[in-house]
Amino acid sequence: EPEVTQTPSHQVTQMGQEVILRCVPISNHLYFYWYRQILGQKVEFLVSFYNNEISEKSEIFDDQFSVERPDGSNFTLKIRSTKLEDSAMYFCATVASGGAGETQYFGPGTRLLVL
Amino acid sequence: AQTVTQSQPEMSVQEAETVTLSCTYDTSESDYYLFWYKQPPSRQMILVIRQEAYKQQNATENRFSVNFQKAAKSFSLKISDSQLGDAAMYFCAYQYNNNDMRFGAGTRLTVKP
């Protein structure tokens, strides 16, 4: 069964450094999402992406964050200058056609630790 | 704003028994979707079951079923014949159209052998 993959599985970085989290969506999926989960807390929506544009973003997704699909396959989340509070698990999710109520398929996540 | 509430931070069930996880939500929409996701220790979230709000019939998926009460805005998950592999965090989620999915805080389910 096709899966969403994410790299790296773990990332440790110093505060103020830039990180790029990568996601490979299921082939032919068109909608992409990033979520984050701070340890012990609920999963929170960050941003959705369709047709090379941000569709929707939450208040968490400030100017430090950006997303792109640089090569038509990978979907990346960049945090420009990491803060301690960015430490979390980051999940990518993809949807086939973005129709209402479609199942979102989640990747295994990247655990980011900012020191 | 749509919110999802899971009032049970932790639940425990004996193997082979039945357990029900609670979820309530708040919305002004009439057409939306509800989900239960399972997050085992490996941390990848897996869809357990999905319910369309316009359908009155409760969704079922093998040992998993839901009790969807639209008027009460309640969406509980029942796990029958619980197995050790069912131990995980369970998240209830709400989605309207193709917008972002709103998650509850989760319920940690322990299955005792």
Tens of pLDDT, residues A25-75 = 998 898 999 999 998 888 999 999 988 899 889 999 999 999 999 887 899
- The distance of B102 to chain A (nearest Cα, Å) reads 7
d(CA B30, CA B20): 25
Query: Is the minimum CB–CB distance between A39 and chain B shorter than 8 Å?
Result: no
Question: Do the Cβ atoms of B43 and A106 come within 8 Å?
Answer: no
Residues 1-30 of A with CB under 8 A from B: none
Q: Residue B92 pLDDT more than 80?
A: yes
| Per-residue pLDDT at B103 | 93
- The distance of A12 to chain B (nearest Cα, Å) reads 18
Q: Residue B56 pLDDT more than 90?
A: no
Token pair, residue A83, equals 């803060």
| Per-residue pLDDT at B1 | 63
Nearest to A40 by CA among B6, B105, B100: B105
- The distance of B112 to chain A (nearest Cα, Å) reads 22
Q: Residue B100 pLDDT more than 80?
A: no
Burial string for A52-83 (b: 16+ CB within 10 Å, else e) reads eeebebbeebeeebebebeeeeebbbebeebe
Query: Is the minimum CB–CB distance between A72 and chain B shorter than 8 Å?
Result: no
